[in-house]
Amino acid sequence: MARVLALEALVNRTLTGVRETIPAFNKLLIEGVPEEWDGPQIEVDLRRLIDACFREPLPKPDVRVLTLPACYDPVLGPDLVELARHAGLTTQQVAQIHSGSTYTVLATGFAPGFAYLGSIDERLAMPRRSDPRPQVQVGTLAIADRRTGVYPSTGPGGWRLIGRVPKALFDDVAQRIARFEPGMQVRFRPISRPDYEREGGL
Amino acid sequence: MNRAVLTRSGPLCTIQDLGRTTGRRLGLAPGGAMDRRAYLWANRLLGNRPDAPALEVTLGGAVIRFESATTLAITGADCSAEIDGAVLPNGFTTRVQAGQVLRLGFSRSGMRAYIAFPGGLDAPRAFGSASVVVREGLDGPLGRAMTDGADLRWPDDPPTGRARGVPRTYVSSQSRSLSLPLIPGYEWHQFSSLDRDSFWSNEWTVASASDRVATRLEGPVLRSGPQSLDSTPLVDGTVQVPGNGTPLVFMRDRPTIGGYPKLGTVDPGALDDLAQARPGTRIRFVRADPEEVLNQLRERRAFFRLDA
């Protein structure tokens, strides 16, 4: 991911006719303006940039860290108990491990404001459900394989639900949509159920 | 502001333009008119900016009562439009008086009609566009289809002069079979040679579950392709093979990333024809020449004066 973001920065700095770049996991999509891009030439330019990118040392990760309060609770996260059992841990240990790491936004997509965060500790990894739930509440914190994320709006979802971020953090649409950008660092701060409600949960 | 009321919105009526210019990095769909050619012609006939917001009417059924006199342009699917009982030719500008009512019947051929207004419809904008993406359900009008009784407003007085029409050669194909030029993508060689041959030689039909997100196909099943845990970026026209094995073609309200194997990308020009393809339309894929696709795209962009 760090390499993809380095390439993205290089592309935006040196290539003309770029409309938008979309990084996702280990891929980078570059949208170009047809008039400014020559098929064979752009291929040469891109190869050169990729080579240059691999020769440079990796840039340091984004220093900004977004910290989101999260309540790890079996009522708010109905799969918490099952995931803990699957991992051979207590629910408290799951919360501790999950909130103990800093994650990177590896991709956005699925719904406006959804970010694929990773990678989570492999002890917490669990495949998604085979039958997605028709209704997952806004703010629900979830896990699928080595990824974690927060549902930005109420809707269907197949990830394992382990807790919730206060709903109040999703009230402002503009903020909700633009919260996560690829490469951004994210942490979760565990909060109690009463704190969750005080911070606008419900 | 000139004004009209959408007294009936039919199955699906949304405001569209050329789609969002940014926001895909944040995971937002591009949105925009499904049949860009028809949409661009509607604006061109009125002398509008190419990206002026217009109405996209899916399958017809819309009724508009005009409170200001104007000139409008209707293109795309033929919905037997009438003004106070007089039949309107499709693909032409038409003069409307205040108090008159425009009615669109059920579309006889094609899926989507476009109605453009002088200067473009007045609409909220985000990410460089007024396009509505219903799937995302953003709060406010940008996330909602039009409902009965919606207000339509536009700034300009009607241009004077005689009616203008779309030259016949530029009307999107609305035939019962389509051949879609495809540029094989970077995962192409990870499909079995059996599947690759089968892809060129077989025929699919457009499924009724198709929508603004994707044109889904029914027919032969492809079983190979790379299996990856992480999703990869998509573009308009990406052909993906989901779990059920029948290909789908991503359209304007698509997600920005997808996790299933991808065969390649359909020629952007052919997506306009596909946008008008009714369920049951027969689809074949033919290998596209990337240079040729790029040249045609440039020609078309120059013709409609698109520069971004």
CA-nearest residue of chain B to A28? B233
Pairing of strands A185-190, A65-70: parallel
List chain A residues with CB under 8 Å of B301. Answer: 34-35
Give A11's contacts (C-beta < 8 A, 6+ positions apart).
A18, A21, A28, A30, A46, A49
Q: Do B294 and A39 touch (CB under 8 A)?
A: yes
List chain B residues with CB under 8 Å of A113. Answer: 26-27
Return the SS3 of A190. Answer: strand
Question: In this structure, are residues B173 and B276 in contact, taking their beta carbons and an 8 Å threshold?
Answer: yes
pLDDT of residue A119: 93
Question: pLDDT below 50 — which residues of chain A?
Answer: none
pLDDT of residue B161: 63
Q: How far is B298 from chain A (nearest CA, A)?
A: 6
Question: In this structure, are residues B231 and A109 in contact, taking their beta carbons and an 8 Å threshold?
Answer: yes
CA-nearest residue of chain B to A8? B25
Q: How far is A195 from chain B (nearest CA, A)?
A: 28
Q: Residue written as tokens 């940008």?
A: B142
Tens digits of residue pLDDT in B232-266: 999 999 999 998 999 999 999 999 999 899 999 99
Here the ipTM equals 0.91
In this prediction the pTM is: 0.94
Question: In this structure, are residues B36 and B18 in contact, taking their beta carbons and an 8 Å threshold?
Answer: yes
List chain B residues with CB under 8 Å of A29. Answer: 233-235
* Assigned token pair, A26: 């280990």
Tens digits of residue pLDDT in B79-119: 999 999 999 988 999 999 999 999 999 998 899 999 999 99
Return the SS3 of A32. Answer: strand
Spatial CA neighbour of A140 closest among A71, A187, A65, A92: A71
Buried b or exposed e, range A45-77, using 16+ CB within 10 angstroms: bbeebeeebeeeeeeeebeeebebbbbbbeebb
Residues in B whose CB is inside 8 Å of some CB of A read: 21-28, 136-140, 229-235, 255-257, 290-291, 294, 297-298, 301-302, 307-308
Give B4's contacts (C-beta < 8 A, 6+ positions apart).
B64, B65, B66, B67, B68, B70, B151, B152
* Assigned token pair, A175: 């903020």
Mean of pLDDT values over B163-174: 73
How far apart (Å, rounded) are the C-alpha atoms in residues A30 and A13? 13
Residue B173 confidence (pLDDT) above 80: no
Tens digits of residue pLDDT in B274-299: 999 999 999 999 999 999 999 999 99
pLDDT of residue B174: 66
Which of A11, A35, A43, A50 is the mutation pick for testing B, counting most B CBs within 10 A?
A35
Tens digits of residue pLDDT in B26-62: 999 999 999 999 999 999 999 999 999 999 999 999 9
pLDDT of residue B90: 87
Q: What share of chain A is helix, strand, coil (3-state, %, to 5)?
A: 35, 30, 35
